[in-house]
Chains A and B, each alone.
Chain A
Amino acid sequence: MNEVARRPIGRFVPLIVFAALVAFFVVGLVWNQTHDARFVPSPLIDKPAPAFRLPKLEQPTHFVSKVDLLGKPYLINVFASWCFACGDEHPVLMAYRDKFGIPLIGYDYKDAPQDARAWLQRHGNPYHEVIADRSGDTAIDFGVYGAPETYLIDARGIIRYKHIGPLTPEVIATELEPRIRELEDQGT
C-alpha cells in the first residue's frame, strides 16, 4: 500500500511550469546582459505613418491630423498618466525637449483626459502639443503595444525610427540624435 508509488504524473505539472518560468527569467537576464542588441524590427519603419486625426488634449474640439504636421520632422512620444515607466522617462523628456531641435508631440494613450491633464500639470509638460487617443484605435495603426514608445517621423510623414520603452540619455545620444541630425542634413 505505497501511496506514492501510485502518484499520478499530473502532480509534477505545477513544478514543471514553475521551472519553465524560472528558466525563462534566468535565460532572459543572462541574454540581456551578454547581448547588446537593441534592434527592434518594426514593420512600420520606413513606411508612411498612418493617417491620423486626433483631438488636442487641452482643446478637445480642435483636431490635429497627419497633414497638419507634414513639412518638418517631428517626434511622437506615446505616454499615459497610468504608465509607470513614463514617470521615469518624464524627467528625461523635460531635459531634452529643447535639445531635440524638432517638435515633440505627446500622444496620450488610452487615458482619461482629466487624468492626463492633471499628470502634466503635476510633473510639467515637455510637449509642444499633446494629442489624445482615448480609445486607442489610432494607436493600433501605429503598432503601439504599450507606453512609453517614441516615433521619429520625417518631413514627408514617414516613420524613420521607433523606440520601445523609456527614452534614456544614452538612447537619445546614440540612437535618436544621430537620426534627427541625419534628417536635418537631408532637409537642407
Chain B
Amino acid sequence: MNPELGQVALILALLLSGLQCLLPIIGAWRGSKPLMATAPSLAIGQFVFVALAFGILAWSFWTNDFSVAYVAQNSNLSLPWYYKLSGVWGAHEGSLLLWMLILNLWTVAMVALGGKLPKAFFSRVIGVLGFVAFGFLLYMITTSNPFLRLFPVPPNGADLNPVLQDPGLVFHPPMLYMGYVGFSVAFSFAIASLLGGELKSTWVRWARPWTNVAWGFLTLGIVAGSAWAYYELGWGGWWFWDPVENASFMPWLIGAALIHAQAITDKRDGLRAWTLLLSIFGFAFSLLGTFLVRSGLLTSVHAFAFAPARGVFILVYLAVVVGGSLLLYALRAPKVTGGRSFALASRETMMVIGNLMLTVACAMVLLGTLYPLVGEALDIGRISVGPPYFGPLFLLLMTPLVLALPFGPLSRWGKADLRVWRNALIRIVALAIAAGIIGFVLGARSFYELLGITAAVWVMAGVALFAIKRWREAPRGKRYPFEMLGMMLAHFGIGVFIAGAILTRSMSVEQDVSMKPGSSVEVGAYDFHFNGVAETQGPNYRAQQGTVVITRNGKHIVTLHPQKRTYAGGQVQTEAAIRAGVFRDLYVSLGDSIGNGAWSLRVYDKPFVRWIWGGGVLMMLGGFTVVLDKRFRLRRAVEPETVRATPEPLVPPKLAEGEA
C-alpha cells in the first residue's frame, strides 16, 4: 500500500479533528442540536482515518518497505514479525501515531458509553478531545511525519534498537499510552465542566470510572516497563529513576491523587477546585511524558537546536493546553466554599494527607528529572542528580502516606470517631509488631528486613481490619460493593509492593565473579556451576550462550542460559537468564570473556522481587474493579442535573476553544 495514502489519511484526520473541536463546542454554546449531533460522527471519522494511517505504517513494516525512512531506521529484513509490528511504535514518529490511535479509541469509547450524558456536556467533552487530537496531528504532520520517503531506497534497514527487541516492549508502550491518553478523558470532563460553568460537581462522578481505568492501564504499563528493565538491561535493578521512568511515574502519582480527590468531590462535594487542578495536571504530565521522552528533549536542550521546530511546537502546545486550562480555571472555577467541613481525624483528612504527599512527590520527581535541563538552560552544565536524590526523598514523602493509609478507610466521612481510631491503632500496631517478631524468629536481622515486614503488615492489616469491619457492620449483599473492593485490592497491592521493594533491597545477594568452565560459586543457599560458553544463532543475532547449573544441597534446581547477543548492526545486548519464583528469583547475566575460557558473570539471589510487580498488578486490578460499581451506571440524564452558572458563557467561544 502506498505510504502517501497514510499521509493523506493523517491530513484528513487533522481536518476532522479541527471540526470535532469547533462544531460540538459551538453547538453546546448556542444550544444548537444539529451542531452537537456532529460530535459522534466526527469522532468516528477521525478514528477511521488515524486507524488507516496506522495500518498503512504497520503494512510498510510488514512488507519491508525501506523507501519509508521510518521503516528503514527501525526495521530489518531479518527482524521477526512480532518485532516488526512493535517497531511501528519503536521510535518517536510511530509512537506518536500509536498515541493518536489510542486517543481515538478512548474518544470512540466515550461516544459509545457516554450517550446518556447531558447532550451539551457530552458535546463539550468530545470537543475538548478533538482539540487535543488536533494539536497532536498538527505536530505529527509538521514535524514528525512517519511517512517520509527515503531516496535512494536502501536494500536493508538499520534494525530496531536491540534494547527494544523484547516481548516486554511489545506491550509496554501501548499499555503506558492507554494510561497517558486515558487522563485526557478526565481532563476533557474537567474542561467541559469549566466551559459549561457547571455549578454542581456531578461531572466528577461521570469522570471517575475513566480516571480509574486510565490509572489501571498506566500502572500496568509501568509494571511492564520495570520488569523489562529488570531482565533486559542486565542489571538486576527494577527501578532506576531515569528520566523515561520518571516521565511515566509523574502522571501515575497525580492520577493516584486524582482518584482520591474525585472520590471526595463525588461523595462529599469537597475539594472541587483541587479535583479540577489535578485533572488538568494529570493530563499535563501525560503530555510532558509523551513528548519529552521520545523526542529526546528531556535529557538535553541540545535537541532543541537539533530539531528546533519540534522543540518550539512542544513548548507552545504545552503552554497553550496547560496555560489555557489554568486561565479557564482561574476565570470559571466554582467557588471553593462548596463541600462539607470535616473533623481532624476523619476520612477526608487521611485522603488529603495522601493527596498532598503524592503531589509533593510528583513535584520532587519533576524537579529532579528536569534538573539537567534547567542546568543547561542556565548554562551551568547538564548534570544528573540521580537516585541519591530521589531515593531518600521519596521514602521520606511516602512515610506519612503509608502511616495514614490504613486509617483512611477505617475512619468515617466528616466525623472523627476516636474510639474506632484507638481500636484500629492498637490492632494495627500489635499486628505489625507481631509480624516483626515472627520475621525476627524466622531469621530476619537487618533493619531494612524488619522495616519491610512491619510496613507491609501495617498496610495489609489495615485492609484486613476494614474487611472485617464491613463484614460485621454492613448488611449482607452490600458488604463489599465494587468501589470498595477495588480500593481494598489496590491498598493491599501497596502492602505487597512495600514488602517486595524493601525485602528485595535488603535480602538480595549479588556477586560479580569470574568463572572458568567447571568452577562453582555459592550465592546464598545456592550453588552456581558454570559449564562454559557456546555460540548460538538467533533470527537476527549471534549469541554467546553460557550454561549455568544451579543446585541447592546437591539437588538440581534449574539450568540457566544467559546470553550475550551481537545484532546485525553490531550492537551488543545482554540477555539475563532468570528462574522466576514467588519467593525468589535466581538471576545470571553474562559479562565479558576474560581469556583462558574464563568469563565474568553476575549472579543474584533476589528474594521477593516478583512481589514488586505483583503489588502493581493488584493496584491495576483495583483500578479496574472500581469501574464495575453500580454508582457509576449512568441513568439517562433527563437534561442537565447541572445548572448553568449564567445564561451565556463568560468567555467568547473563540477564546474558550483556544484554551481548551
> Are A85's CB and B326's CB within 8 A?
no
B381 at the binding interface (Cβ < 8 Å): yes
A99 at the binding interface (Cβ < 8 Å): no
Q: What's the Cα separation between A149 and B383 when bound, in Å?
A: 8
The residues in B between 289 and 326 inclusive whose CB is less than 8 angstroms from any CB of A are 299, 301, 304-305, 311, 315, 318-319, 322-323, 326
Residue of B nearest to A136 (CB): B388
Chain A residues whose C-beta falls within 8 Å of the C-beta of B163 in the assembled complex = none
Given known pairs A3-B645, A14-B277, A115-B235, the reply for A84 and B384 (CB within 8 Å) is: yes
Given known pairs A85-B372, A121-B600, A165-B375, the reply for A14 and B384 (CB within 8 Å) is: no
Q: What's the Cα separation between A31 and B234 when bound, in Å?
A: 41
Nearest-neighbour CB distance to chain B for A5, whole angstroms, equals 10
> Are A4's CB and B650's CB within 8 A?
yes
> Are B512's CB and A3's CB within 8 A?
no
Q: What's the Cα separation between A19 and B243 when bound, in Å?
A: 23
Given known pairs A83-B384, A84-B242, A147-B384, the reply for A4 and B645 (CB within 8 Å) is: yes
Q: What's the Cα separation between A101 and B387 when bound, in Å?
A: 34
Q: Which of B327, B574, B650 contacts A15 (CB 8 A)?
A: B327
> Are A165's CB and B377's CB within 8 A?
no
Give the A interface residue count (CB, 8 A): 49
The residues in B between 304 and 355 inclusive whose CB is less than 8 angstroms from any CB of A are 304-305, 311, 315, 318-319, 322-323, 326-327, 329-336
Q: What's the Cα separation between A25 and B292 when bound, in Å?
A: 14
> Are B383's CB and A33's CB within 8 A?
no
Q: Which of A35-43, A68-76, A175-183 contacts B (4 or more CB under 8 A)?
A: A35-43
A65 at the binding interface (Cβ < 8 Å): no
Nearest-neighbour CB distance to chain B for A75, whole angstroms, equals 16
> Are B375's CB and A80's CB within 8 A?
no
Chain A residues whose C-beta falls within 8 Å of the C-beta of B318 in the assembled complex = 22
Interface of A with B (CB < 8 Å)? 2-4, 6-8, 11-12, 14-15, 18-19, 22, 24-26, 28-29, 31-33, 35, 37-38, 40, 80, 82-86, 88, 110, 114-115, 117-118, 121-122, 136, 145-149, 163-166
Closest 9 CB pairs of A and B: A28-B377, A164-B381, A146-B383, A165-B381, A15-B326, A82-B386, A110-B388, A11-B330, A165-B382
Given contacts A84-B243, A118-B591, A148-B383, 5 further A-B contacts (CB under 8 A): A3-B334, A3-B646, A32-B301, A83-B384, A122-B574
Can you name 7 A-B residue pairings with CB atoms under 8 Å? A4-B646, A7-B331, A7-B335, A25-B315, A29-B377, A147-B384, A164-B380
Interface of B with A (CB < 8 Å)? 197, 199, 234-235, 237, 240-243, 273, 277, 299, 301, 304-305, 311, 315, 318-319, 322-323, 326-327, 329-336, 371-372, 374-388, 510, 512, 574, 591-592, 600, 602, 645-646, 650
